[in-house]
Amino acid sequence: MGTYVDASGNSHGFLESGGSFTTIDYPGANGTFAVGINNAGQVVGSYWFGSGSNHGFLESGGSFTTIDVPGASSTLAHGINDAGQVVGAYFDDLGLTHGFLLVLQNIEVTSLAWNSAQGGADFSYAISNGDLPQATTVDLYWAPTSTFDQNEDTLIPGSVTTTQTVVGTYGPIHVDAGELQAPAGDNYLLAVADPDHLVETGDHTFPLAYDPFDAVAVTTLDSRSLTFQYDISEAQPSAPFDVGIYRSSSDTFDPSGPGTK
């Protein structure tokens, strides 16, 4: 694996295997350098258009992915290991050089839903762009908003699931309703992949709104009495709650309006 220059002065990457050469050219680029390769045959290097800046690239199975450090004026990918981690260098706006490490593997939650048949909730997750260097977890949390905050949100201990490490899709994984007692004030159930950042630094959160109460019916028995029905679904509230009957001039509830409780 390396780089060659043709008769026109253009640079091309190449891979040699068993005496056979394969050219590696980033599509449409004026020049390509192939610099690093791992045992899976993934190649990294750099390319450029015209007299423009350099961009890093990853070539895997004939597919190219650009690697650009955010805010950099130029990026060079120098090496890739068997875990899919890329190292290289980039230049900032002042022309100063910095190193970088890029973890290409990705783990994310692909679904989270209430299980109306069994109770509780089900989630699935996927690993892509290479096997994980180690197992991590997917955990469920109760949260007041759809944004994950590990310091504020409430971990559901019975939901902690140790992940696989091989590329693939896993699930659905069921969490029993008995594990999902919702704290007061929390309006979301969050499924979070790799919350402790064991293999990634990104935030991979899948939110599910929590709205367990539903007034089903109100039936008038006679002029003096009525019956009503309500449902609790999704997860068990942590404390008792009130159900009130209001007389109103419309079918829209307004607790501060003229209706009578």
Domain ranges of the chain: 2-103, 106-209
Ordered mean pLDDT values, 10 residues apiece, the chain (261 residues): 91 91 94 92 92 89 89 94 88 93 87 90 90 89 94 95 94 92 88 88 83 61 66 58 68 64 52
C-alpha to C-alpha distances, 257 to 100, 139, 190, 249, nearest whole angstrom: 60, 42, 35, 10
Residue type at 228? F
Q: For residue 242, count other CB atoms closer than 10 A to its CB.
A: 4
Q: Do the Cβ atoms of 140 and 156 come closer than 8 Å? A: yes
Model confidence, pTM = 0.59
Scored b (16 or more CB within 10 A) or e, 82-120 reads: ebbbbebbbbeeeeeeeebebbbbbbbbeebebeeeebb
d(CA 31, CA 41): 21
d(CA 132, CA 104): 9
Domain 106-209: give its CATH code: 2.60.40
Q: Which two tokens stand for residue 168?
A: 């693939």
pLDDT of 257: 62
pLDDT of 102: 87
pLDDT of 81: 87
pLDDT of 66: 92
d(CA 196, CA 177): 25
Q: Do the Cβ atoms of 173 and 161 come closer than 8 Å? A: yes
Question: Nearest Cα to 127, choosing from 158, 159, 171?
Answer: 171
Question: Domain 2-103 adopts which CATH fold?
Answer: Thrombin, subunit H (2.40.10)
Task: Specify whether the backbone of 18 is left (phi greater than 0), alpha (psi in -120 to 50) or beta.
Answer: left
C-alpha to C-alpha distances, 105 to 102, 137, 139, nearest whole angstrom: 9, 15, 19
pLDDT of 258: 59
pLDDT of 185: 84
pLDDT of 203: 73
